[in-house]
Structures are given as C-alpha cells and as structure tokens.
Chains A and B, each alone.
Chain A
C-alpha cells in the first residue's frame, strides 16, 4: 500500500503511531472496554473481542458519559490504552479531558478520502498538533 496523507483537525496534541483498528459503531469508554486487558466487551460494538492497546482507534463517535475521562485514563495506568483516536465528530469534553490526561492524541473530522482509502490494519502516524494522518 502506497504512502498516503490525510488532513484532519487536531484536538489533543501529541504524536503516535500504531495499526488502525476501525469500527463502524460508537464506543463508550465507560463500560465497553475492560480496563485491565484493553479488550472491547461492549456487545453493541462491532469490535467485540478486539484489543485496543497500542492501536490507532478509528471510530464514528464516542457515546457520551461524564465518566469517560476516568476510564481512558485508567487504560493508560494499566498500559492498555489506544495509541491515538481518530473520530468522525468532536467527542464529549469528558473524552477530550481523559485523552489530554493520558497523552493520547485525538484528531477529528478527517477529510472524506480517509474513510474510503483507509484499511483495517494500516500502519498510521497521527499528528495531534497539525491534525495530519499518515499511512507509513
């Protein structure tokens, strides 16, 4: 697969790299993830059984919960956190607060080509400062 670059909007600063884990369903950080293993346990997620640790998690949306920040931070404490998040829409402030605490970059609203070109398992670099996503 050739190198490719897509523009998104940087929301949480930082650089990260990992294999893309792509979902078509919204994910709740409170309840859908097992903190100790990083496994998706929420039955409403199409990632059920997958592990988010070290992956660039690509989601249409996060489901709102005021407690989301704590669970994202707990993934970091247990070293089971995703490397970065790419979201279609701006998440709930609680998710953003958790990601800033956990040093997990977030970019949102990537350009349309990203959604058609991206393949599950692509190695991605996410630049939360510039909003740039690169396949490497």
Chain B
C-alpha cells in the first residue's frame, strides 16, 4: 500500500501515540481490502461510546486520554441516554452519568457532540466527491446517494479516520464500485416518511448489499423521504448507496441500467412490510414512537402540528426523538411546547432501540440496568420496527406518522390504509 509522507510520519508517532495507533489500524484495514493508497477525508461521523456496552465509554475515554485530536470536522452518533434529561425516560442515574463521560471525552478531542443518527439535519452536510467515514449506515447511504459524498459502512474506525484525516481507498471510495448492480422499478405510490422507510425496506431485502438504480417514482421525494428510503434499505439489506436518477449526483434524469437483475416494488409489497410489523394488539400498546431516524426540523414541524391541541391518551407514552441541535431549533420556533402540552416527551441523543429498553446489550452489572417490560411499541418507521423486534424483543404496530398520532390520542391503533398504485 502506497503511503504519503504524512501517513508515514503519523505511523512513526510524530503526531502522538493515538494517531500512530490509528494510522497502523487504517493501514491494516486497507491491506485487507487491497486498497492502493489512502484518501483525504473531509468529515467523519463517529461512535458515541455506548454506556450500555461494558468498556465502550472507556474505549473513547482512552483514545481521548492519549491526546487524540480530530483532524477534520467530526459529529457523534446516537447514544444510550438523553444526556440532558435521562430521568424523563426512566434511565438509571448511573447509566446517564456514564454516558455523560463519553460526551466529555468527545469534547476533549474536538468533536461536535451531536449524538444523532441524522447529523446532516444538525448541519454536517458533506458535499459531492468528498470522501468521508461514517459509523452509521443511514448516514453512509444518505451521503452516497443524496449528497454524492463517498462513504463505506464503517465501524469504530471512523474515529481513526477523524483523527488522521485519512482512509484507505476501497469500496465506495472507488468509482468502479459506485455503479448500479440492480434495476428496481417502483409501481407503488409511496407518500410520507413511513411509506418511504417501507419502500427502502423492500428494496434492501431484494438487493442485499447491492447498489439499486431506482425507477418509477412519479415525483421527486422530499429530503425527509430520501432519508427514510435510505435507512430502510440499510436496515433490511446491507445497502450503502442507491442511485435515483436526477437526484443522486451525477446521474441525470434519463440514467438507466438495462440488463441488470430486475426487481419491482408494488403497493402490495409496501403493505406487506406494514402488515409484517403489526404483531401487537390494537389496544395493548404502551409506547408510541415518532422520529426514526432522528427527526429533521421539517418533521418536528409536522409532528408539532399533528399534536397541537390534542391530548395523548391516559396510559400511553408518546416519544418524539430528534437530535439536541434540531430540538433547540424546534424549541426556538415554538414547536416543542405544543408537543409537551399534548403529553408527549421530546427525547434527544437516543431513541427506544438505542436506550435501556434494548435487552441485547451488555452493560456493566453495577449500572443496575433492567430493561422495562413493554407490551407493544407503535412506530412510524420500518427501521425502528425491525430493531424493536430484534433488540427490545417486543411486538410492534407500524403505521404512518399521522395515524401514529391518532393512535396515541385515541388509544386505539390506526393501521395504514392501502394506496392506489
């Protein structure tokens, strides 16, 4: 693998022990995947340090303790507790305090303490042809497919990329891998973010870890819908990039991929995703969740309008999850107060599947984490539904955002109705 003079200097420890270890690890990764050299990255979205995994906050603290500093703009991924108000979600005090230690470590390294799965809504917006590293698969697919940046599905090594500003050139950093592998025709007429998570979920199931070129959508999806479609694919499959002609740089409106394996997405396929994630009883739910992935300002506006003047049914909790940055914008715009007045909780830094509800984590027993017994969670996202099933292991009811609010207010589940198409 060809190394630049600066790569070699980092490897020799001229910028400290943390950067030396980071470069050594990136070289080992690059050699495994036959990377010819390293690229400069412009941004990294990195691991939060998760309080629900033993030793994980300590891993971030150890890196910061070695004197690591971020060489490029860095945002942090979703965490295991709302660091501003963990009591509101019933998280143990020890868990909240441990999670706060990760926040302090990130500040030492110069990272933005975003703690969100949607850092783009909080201002981290990489641009066309910028190489980036991302631990969050939803960020990877949005960056590749909507912004035209270049990202693999990374793990902890996004931290190393942030510290060095470098990443081995393999996978989606190479032009030859940023090409369609499947041709997907959508005959369904999805509308709203819940539908688009389901559409993405169908596509991810069909193409696995391929790169689908998507045809047939009648109108250009909104940014929120593009985001929703991407996370759906990254959840059911290993999709890191989709190509929507006229949207994904640099593909023009008339781009096509004849001759590739074909898939079709019908309204029945989308309805099947909703039906498949309706495993709970229609009056037996105790939590309604909105905001997966973390809500944008536009989604906060929508949720706030839906909840204004309404009242959440007794015995039901309603959570709206977003990043702390978007929450602040929403608060300044007067959008949070009507939600709180309606009986909702606005939660930042985490979400149901990322908080102490998950039973597949491995916290230090001393934290006293006991996942609560939940009956059923109502969701407006196929991603949340998938991981509620796998990580919280309780039934779900999946519907649109509008009907999820009706569900919370009436105390009776309101299923999505089929659309034409």
Contact = CB atoms under 8 A, between A and B. Distances in A.
Contacts, number: 78
A100 B156 CA distance: 10
Contacts of B155: 66-70, 93-94, 97-98
Interface string B284-314: 0000000000000000000000000000000
A120 to B, nearest CB: 27
Contact of B360 (A13, A31, A65): A31
Contact of B390 (A31, A92, A98, A101): A31
B24 to A, nearest CB: 9
Given A66-B137, A90-B32, A97 B53 contact: no
B154 A94 contact: yes
Contacts of A92: 153, 238
B54 A97 contact: no
Contact of B28 (A13, A68, A77): A13
Interface string B122-165: 00000000000001110010000000000011111100000000
B218 to A, nearest CB: 31
Contacts of B390: 31
B154 A93 contact: yes
B25 A100 contact: yes
A45 interface: no
B251 interface: no
A78 B32 contact: no
B154 A97 contact: yes
B49 to A, nearest CB: 11
Contacts of B56: 70, 73-74, 77
Contact of A64 (B136, B238, B362): B238
Given A93-B153, A94-B153, A78 B25 contact: no
A35 B29 CA distance: 24
Interface in B236-260: 238
Contacts of A36: 362
Nearest to A9: B32
A79 B59 CA distance: 16
Contacts of A69: 155-157
Looking at B54, B360, B362, which has the most chain A CB atoms within 10 Å of its CB?
A: B362
Given A93-B33, A93-B153, A77 B209 contact: no
B216 interface: no
B53 A74 contact: yes
Contacts of B110: none
B278 interface: no
B163 to A, nearest CB: 14
B335 interface: no
A12 interface: yes
B65 interface: no
Given A74-B54, A78-B54, A90-B33, A97 B362 contact: no
Interface in A57-104: 64-70, 73-74, 77-78, 90, 92-94, 96-98, 100-101
B29 A97 contact: yes
A110 B33 CA distance: 16
B171 interface: yes
Contact of A97 (B55, B137, B157): B157
A62 to B, nearest CB: 11
Contacts of A101: 25, 156
Nearest to B237: A64
Given A74-B53, A100-B28, A93 B156 contact: no
Contacts of A70: 50, 53, 56, 155-156
A93 B171 contact: yes
Nearest to B168: A93
Nearest to A35: B362
Contact of B153 (A66, A90, A98): A66
Contacts of B50: 70
Interface in A9-38: 11-13, 31, 35-36
Contact of B32 (A64, A67, A77, A96): A96
Contact of B29 (A31, A65, A74, A100): A100
Nearest to B134: A66
A73 B54 contact: no
Interface string B55-73: 1100100000000000000
Given A74-B55, A94-B155, A98-B155, 4 more contacts: A64-B238, A78-B54, A78-B362, A93-B33
9 contacts: A12-B32, A31-B390, A64-B209, A65-B238, A66-B153, A94-B155, A96-B32, A96-B33, A100-B157
